[in-house]
């Protein structure tokens, strides 16, 4: 294949991610979204940015510190990337606070929701917060002086802190002090309001009002809030450690002492105080962010959680479709007859939970094997795996301990599962296990039968309510053999020479996709129908992008749905004329991965756990699985085309790399997520009526219609 390695053909990965977060910020500014959902979107942009600093920016700083100078495909060296990132993120944070101060705060007040400053409080409200401080807050606080005998304390990652300068009456010398706002107390405090409004005060402002009480005998000159972010990437030498679980536990403790790579301060800080902070924390001035408002806007999600009612200010709840044939009958009887396709959150995730539940208690089930990357804090799947072990079944669970920011949660689950008799493994050295797969082995009259679930998303019953993912329940014999081989590879040293149908990374996924692209190129050159349609979270692998450029320049029509990072440039003359890139950012987080290849009129359709990124193709255990049932294949292709036709929540990349909403003038609005949700609700209502008419409907255990309208 011809090389397309011109740096002008690529967008820097980090700058592409910032563009994605801007698209999320646009949702916070979009007047068509309900107000409290806009508030949540703003909170999400802040949470996203925090993780970006702690992982991606921290990694680039490490590269600069060790003298790594290799440019990325877009031609930017690590130092140049940091400079561009600093410029873009300073601008983004300014926009975030403009959105809060000039839009959302005013609109919330119009609806009777107030986040008040201390100066705005009535006498009764002041009395309330004074009492709250003395009875609840004061006993928890630890004021810290900094001098020759008391060194600067460890400032915890992402904690809100108040720093100040104080002096003794009549003395000119100022002392530097700091106090952490306790994270064991709610940051958003409801205060009484005689006007019937919903009024709140932030905890740091309550503390700041009483800061003199913490330093008796001193006068306060200045007090401002600040927050640090640290390098939170784990550095685990899996080759050298004898116990991965203990090593990760040790690294988690070290992580809280990682280098400070970001400092937020309130905009009114004096030069004297900012210089003291920068010196003590060892942070560069270009990594200091002065914010015009409350530090850490993720408090807005906590605020909306405290607001009862206000249904008209939220997205209306969606009723997912429940697969009653799976819930009320033997799931294994159904799967012997046909495959079942699931499209979450439009299809209820309860079907996946039911698969494990039935397997846990079925006397004919011999073994359950499963990979867990991220699960919820009160996971029903974990409970059923424990029940299966208690019922004497062979239960093998791969728990990925290196799932970023879920390490501690996964360690707890791993230990809990081991105590109930499950065999817990941690995957392959040097690789994250990111595939989503469950295997049930059952004894039947005809012999041993395997049943599987393959998915594009995690076995997390909570995020399944607001992440869009796809899954397949099947009893396909060859897939079952492949699934057993995957687990044997993960638990031991067995590596089969080939798989029948499943495609696994890092062994074969890159080569298989390259072969599929090459086939489309050959078909285009032979005058046959040739196209590629793919949906993923991110596209950054240089080799894959070059292969897509080769296909485009050969006449292959390529349509991509890429939610986040996309380093490919569309519509470049002679390079990507035939490539469209769409990005949907809406109510639900687009998370499914779909790969469709025209194959000269007989399309090949795959779902996968993998995006087209170097980490997924080279450093993770991933699975791509084929969809062979014609009706399911058609449903996935139809779903892709509906998403592609979205003109409400989609943005389309232009030749300049900028994403813009399509022109809707004269066109019928198409919101793909709302379309799928409405379709699911209609199917669910129709199915219920049918069951009620036949007098066969019974409420499903623990699957009542509450909680389905959560949003990220």
Length of the chain in terms of residues written = 712
The 8-class DSSP code of residue 695 comes to: T
Return all residues near 563 (Cβ < 8 A) that are at least 6 apart: 20, 536, 537, 538, 583, 584, 585, 589, 590, 591
What pairs with residue 290 in β-bridges? Answer: 265
Task: Based on the residue annotation, tell me whether 210 is a catalytic residue of this protein.
Answer: no
Q: Residue 575: helix, strand or coil by DSSP?
A: coil
Instruction: Return the sign of the alpha-carbon dihedral for residues 385, 386, 388, 389.
Output: positive
Distance (Å, whole) CA 23 – CA 502: 35
What pairs with residue 425 in β-bridges? Answer: 398
CA angle 555, 558, 559 (to 5 degrees): 155
- Per-residue burial over 33-58, b = 16 or more CB atoms within 10 Å of its CB, e = otherwise: bbbbbbbbbbbbbbbbbbebbbebbb
Distance (Å, whole) CA 363 – CA 266: 62
Distance (Å, whole) CA 671 – CA 526: 37
For 688, other C-beta atoms within 10 Å of its C-beta total 14
Distance (Å, whole) CA 370 – CA 359: 12
- 503 and 624 Cβ atoms separated by less than 8 Å: yes
Distance (Å, whole) CA 304 – CA 665: 34
The 8-class DSSP code of residue 231 comes to: -
Report the number of secondary-structure helices (H) and strands (E) in the chain. 21, 27
Nearest to 88, CA basis, from 138, 40, 16, 178: 16
> Which whole-number Å values give the CA distances from 122 to 116, 132, 136, 192, 201, in the listed order?
10, 15, 21, 10, 12
Please, what is the end-to-end C-alpha distance for the chain in angstroms? 41
- Residue 704 buriedness (CB in 10 A; 0-12 / 13-18 / 19+): exposed
SS3 string, 400-416, reads: CCCCCCCHHHHHHHHHH
Distance (Å, whole) CA 278 – CA 289: 12
- 146 and 178 Cβ atoms separated by less than 8 Å: yes
Candidates 434, 453, 582, 591; catalytic one: 434
Report the run of H or E that residue 584 belongs to, with start and end.
strand 579-584
Distance (Å, whole) CA 323 – CA 327: 6
For 148, phi and psi rounded to 5 degrees? Answer: -65, -30
Distance (Å, whole) CA 187 – CA 161: 12
- 593 and 38 Cβ atoms separated by less than 8 Å: no
Report the run of H or E that residue 454 belongs to, with start and end.
strand 447-455
- Per-residue burial over 153-167, b = 16 or more CB atoms within 10 Å of its CB, e = otherwise: eebebbbbbbbbbbe
Distance (Å, whole) CA 24 – CA 27: 5
- Residue 241 buriedness (CB in 10 A; 0-12 / 13-18 / 19+): middle
Distance (Å, whole) CA 592 – CA 608: 8
Active site residues: 434
């Amino acid at each position: 294949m011809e090389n397309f390695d011109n740096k002008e053909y690529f967008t820097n990965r980090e700058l592409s991610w910032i563009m994605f977060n801007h698209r999320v910020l646009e949702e916070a500014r979009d007047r068509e979204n309900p107000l409290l959902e806009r508030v949540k979107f703003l909170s999400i942009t802040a949470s996203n940015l925090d993780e970006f600093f702690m992982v991606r920016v921290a990694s680039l700083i490490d590269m600069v510190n060790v003298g790594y100078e290799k440019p990325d495909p877009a031609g930017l060296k690590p130092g140049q990337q940091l400079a561009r990132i600093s410029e873009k993120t300073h601008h983004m944070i300014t926009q975030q606070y403009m959105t809060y101060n000039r839009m959302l705060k005013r609109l919330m007040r119009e609806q009777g929701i107030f986040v008040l400053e201390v100066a705005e409080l009535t006498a009764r409200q002041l009395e309330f917060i004074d009492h709250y401080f003395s009875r609840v807050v004061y006993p928890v606080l630890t004021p810290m002086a900094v001098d020759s005998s008391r060194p600067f304390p460890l400032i915890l990652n992402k904690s809100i802190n108040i720093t100040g300068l104080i002096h003794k009456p009549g003395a000119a010398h100022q002392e530097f002090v700091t106090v952490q706002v306790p994270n064991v107390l709610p940051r958003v405090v409801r205060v009484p309001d005689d006007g019937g409004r919903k009024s709140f005060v932030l905890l740091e402002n309550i503390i700041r009002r009483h800061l003199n009480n913490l330093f008796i005998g001193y006068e306060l000159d200045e007090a401002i809030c600040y927050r640090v972010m640290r390098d939170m990437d784990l550095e685990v030498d899996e080759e050298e450690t004898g116990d991965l679980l203990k090593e990760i536990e040790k690294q988690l403790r070290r992580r809280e002492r990682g280098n400070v790579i970001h400092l937020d301060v309130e905009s009114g800080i004096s030069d004297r105080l900012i210089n003291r902070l920068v010196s003590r924390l060892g942070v560069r001035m270009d990594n200091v962010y002065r914010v015009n408002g409350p530090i850490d806007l993720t408090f807005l999600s906590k605020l909306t959680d405290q607001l009862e009612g206000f249904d008209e200010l939220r997205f209306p709840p969606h009723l997912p479709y429940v697969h009653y044939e799976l819930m009320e009958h033997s799931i294994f009887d159904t799967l012997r007859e046909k495959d079942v396709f699931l499209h979450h959150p439009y299809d209820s995730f309860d079907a996946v939970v039911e698969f494990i539940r039935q397997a846990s208690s079925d006397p004919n089930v011999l073994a359950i094997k499963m990979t867990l990357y991220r699960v919820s804090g009160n996971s029903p799947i974990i409970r059923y795996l424990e029940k299966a072990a208690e019922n004497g079944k062979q239960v093998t669970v791969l728990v990925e301990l290196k799932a970023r920011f879920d390490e501690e949660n996964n360690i707890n689950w791993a230990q809990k599962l081991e105590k109930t008799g499950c065999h817990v493994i941690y995957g392959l050295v040097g690789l994250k296990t990111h595939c989503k797969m469950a295997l049930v082995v059952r004894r039947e009259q005809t012999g041993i039968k395997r049943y599987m679930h393959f998915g594009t998303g995690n076995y997390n019953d909570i995020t399944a309510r607001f992440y869009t993912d796809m899954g397949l329940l099947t009893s396909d014999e060859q897939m079952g053999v492949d699934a057993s081989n995957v687990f044997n590879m993960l638990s031991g040293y067995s590596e089969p020479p080939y798989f029948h149908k499943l495609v696994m990374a890092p062994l074969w996924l890159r080569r298989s996709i390259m072969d599929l692209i090459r086939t489309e190129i050959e078909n285009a050159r032979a005058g046959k129908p040739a196209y590629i349609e793919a949906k993923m979270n991110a596209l950054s692998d240089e080799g894959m992008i070059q292969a897509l450029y080769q296909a485009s320049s050969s006449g292959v029509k390529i349509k991509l749905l890429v939610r986040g990072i996309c380093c490919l440039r569309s519509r470049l003359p002679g390079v990507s004329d035939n490539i469209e890139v769409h990005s949907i950012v809406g109510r639900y987080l687009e998370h499914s991965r779909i790969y469709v290849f025209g194959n000269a009129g007989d399309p090949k359709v795959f779902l996968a756990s993998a995006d087209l990124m170097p980490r997924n193709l080279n450093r993770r255990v991933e699975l791509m699985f084929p969809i062979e049932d014609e009706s399911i294949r058609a449903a996935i292709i139809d779903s892709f085309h509906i998403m592609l036709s979205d003109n409400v929540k989609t943005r389309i990349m232009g030749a300049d790399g900028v994403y813009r909403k399509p022109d809707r003038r004269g066109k019928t609005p198409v919101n793909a997520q709302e379309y799928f949700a409405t379709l699911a609700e209609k199917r669910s209502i129709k199915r219920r009526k049918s069951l009620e008419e036949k007098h066969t409907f019974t409420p499903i255990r623990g699957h009542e219609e509450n909680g389905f309208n959560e949003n990220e």
